Amino acid sequence: MKSYLLIFGLFLNVFSHSQMVYEWINTQYNPSDATEDSFVDYLVLNEGVKSFHEKQELIAASKEVSIVHIEVELQRNGYVKQVQKVLPDGSESISEFTYVGSSGAYKQHWVSIFNGGAKKDTIREDIYTGDQKDWQIRADSLAFDSKGNIIYFRNNRDEVYSTFDKHGRKVKDSIPAHPKLMAHEISYKYGKKRIVKVTSYLDQNIKIKTVYKVDKRGNWTKCTIKSNGNIKNAVLRRKLFYFD
């Protein structure tokens, strides 16, 4: 009887994990935010993260490896408190966020320190209006494909069509070309504590495969990026700490 209960419990754990919705994937994809200095990856996580350390191993075509370290602190409501980034040359950036009222509008206080503290730039303060969670799905309209999956349409400067399965998980982003952007498609496949994301630029024959290993709360702890194009490969590792 005990062994039966154990097997049943393991089955429930695997099944529930395979159906989990990942907020950081369901975030509305915006190609304009897909930059090296983007904070989007830190703004939307599955709930409960207090802080995490991220080590990035960036692998060039010459096989030379450079290391980037990132420390992120968050508030209980999921808003970012501070992001500290140390680059391979020892230069450093520290971004601190303060919030105005209950709307989620925030001020970013950004300090850059070059070459291990030899020079410090002018402190810059940028005001952002709008909720940090604004990267969540905000579709202009929706429809259903032939398999009954929901498709969200977002018609802005970077038009995106996102498809979701019956469990509410994103399975595809389709992005048409415009003068400043190559057409591409992103697919997402879910397994037991593993997510595979493939970004394809069909016209340029470029494919980028990203494999995430995720913890029991649905946040990734290891990310491996491999490309067949002239793009850096990378291995990213995160150590996450949660609120009690």
- What confidence score (pLDDT) does residue 7 get? 46
Task: Determine what percent of the chain is predicted with pLDDT higher than 90.
Answer: 27
Helix, coil or strand: residue 137: coil
Answer whether 202's CB lies under 8 Å from 186's CB.
no
15 within a domain of the structure (yes/no): no
Strands 92-100 and 194-201: unpaired
2 within a domain of the structure (yes/no): no
C-alpha 91: how far from chain center: 24
pLDDT per position as a tens digit, 136-170: 445 556 667 777 776 776 655 557 788 888 888 88
pTM given for the model: 0.79
202 within a domain of the structure (yes/no): yes
Q: How many domains does the chain have?
A: 1
pLDDT per position as a tens digit, 68-94: 999 999 988 888 889 899 988 888 888
5 within a domain of the structure (yes/no): no
8 within a domain of the structure (yes/no): no
221 within a domain of the structure (yes/no): yes
Residue 39 structural domain: 23-242
pLDDT per position as a tens digit, 10-24: 444 544 555 788 888
151 within a domain of the structure (yes/no): yes
Q: Which of 77-86, 163-172, 199-208, 209-218 has the highest mean pLDDT?
A: 209-218
119 within a domain of the structure (yes/no): yes
